[in-house]
Structure 1
Amino acid sequence: MSESVEQTVQTVIDFVAMYGLQVIAAIIILIVGFWFAAYSKRKCHDLLMKSPNVDEMLAGFLATLVKYIVVAVTVLAVLNKFGIETTSLIAVLGAAGLAIGLALQGTLSNVAAGVMILFLRPFKVGQFVDIGGVSGTVKGVSLFTTELATGDNVQILLPNSRVWGSAILNYSAHATRRVDLLMGIAYDDDINKAMAVIEELAKADDRIKQDPAPVLAVGDLADSSVNIIVRVWVNASDYWGVRWSLTKSIKEAFDENGISIPFPQQVVHHVNASADTE
């Protein structure tokens, strides 16, 4: 028993004597490498954000990529400290990566789609988009998923392959948007008077642009109403505020001017076909 303990202790002493400096150096390399990786990520992100052509989404991706490259170089340096042939290891990892890639084609398609999204930038962080019927504010894009937040702050994670393969509606891409309303009035009401009321409201709201000028037109003669099309241009950030307030203002102005907004109704003719036979 004592001989076994002595052999174990001697083995540990021999290992420390032979590899002690390498172990210490490897630990130092790991600590410095991981610190430098985090520092490089932060510094790269700050530098990229100073460029007007780089947005938050792309800067975050490139900074993370730099971090992983530094980590990979650190790990290879540590392995080299112990005399491990890194070229052979890289070849083995390459072959393993190919096998894993074939098994995870769906995952790799998300990575490829993520790269396309990050470099072609169909949307940016903070913009409101609709992707294949899913709407929300863009919070970020990683290599595998795109994160959205709904209006009530529910998180949505979409696979990048689905994002890249779907129609993307970006409601925040342009500085201005058009508000479209359809207001119905009764057939007995004065169309010109109703349009004049709406026009005055559009001129009175500073958020509504006068160039291009608001458009008012009779859209169609519906079953129960004459439908007036209202189209005004606003800043994208004012879209919902103008839409809601203009709808409310039109209703109140119609009430003040004796213009009614009819509800669906049907005219029924009753024919009394009673036949008295004697």
Structure 2
Amino acid sequence: MSLNKETIRVMNVNIYCEYNISEKPPLILIHGYLSSTYTFHRIMSKLSENYSVIAIDLPGFGRSEKSKSFRYSFENYAQLIKEVMDYFHITRVTLVGHSMGGQVSLNVAKFYPEKVSKLILLNSSGYLKRANQLLILSSYLPFFHRYVHYHINKHDVKEELKKVLFNHSLITDEMMEEYKRPLLEKDFPHSLIRLLRHREGDLSSQDLNQIYTPALLIWGKQDEVVPFKVGQKLASELPNANLIAYDQAGHLITEEKPVEVVEQILKFA
């Protein structure tokens, strides 16, 4: 099933989205750090058979605007998701968040619980602290963006993908191109700097205890980015959560277990 691809204007930022709106129950897919809607390319069409699917590139990532005025905080990202819902005339939604997108999803559930019917967290980030104050202050130094540009481009994309995949044979030229392309944009380092300054720490245990939205956590047991023990802790602290884990799968669970992920979403959402 084909998806519409469009850039929309939300909160004074140009947001790239891929979507298929129908009368079916809505899902919003939220990618993680240094990623994009491409995270979900193996599951979007299949999900569209049963849901109205909207996948967005968060401001600063993918094909969305690398804004120098947007506040890159989780609370602001949560508001952005609410505004995207308003744009598409959606009142309640199931959120599917991968990695940092899981933390964004949790923030939507915290600030707008009436908007979220269910949460599906794929290898979600959790318990990360805010950047230390010295690093935040350093980000205001002249030419700090050059350091960031050097730092993000010194790593080989293929080697970085090996860290998020258990099965390295899944790495293709297309995948490497999709993950490398945004890194080459001149304003990308500025977005990362603003994220460094604005990003709060992940939600605390006390916050998580207050999120009663039904949640399904799906994890790759060989995740080297967000270890399985993080998923176990999240599942224990969210009052209404279940955790499912797959062996021989790393951080990028949508690439390694797409059929299984879709099956679990169909059962839960």
**TM-score normalised by length of structure 2:** 0.25
Question: Which protein has greater RCO, CA pairs closer than 8 Å, 6+ apart?
Answer: 2
Which is greater in Rg? 1
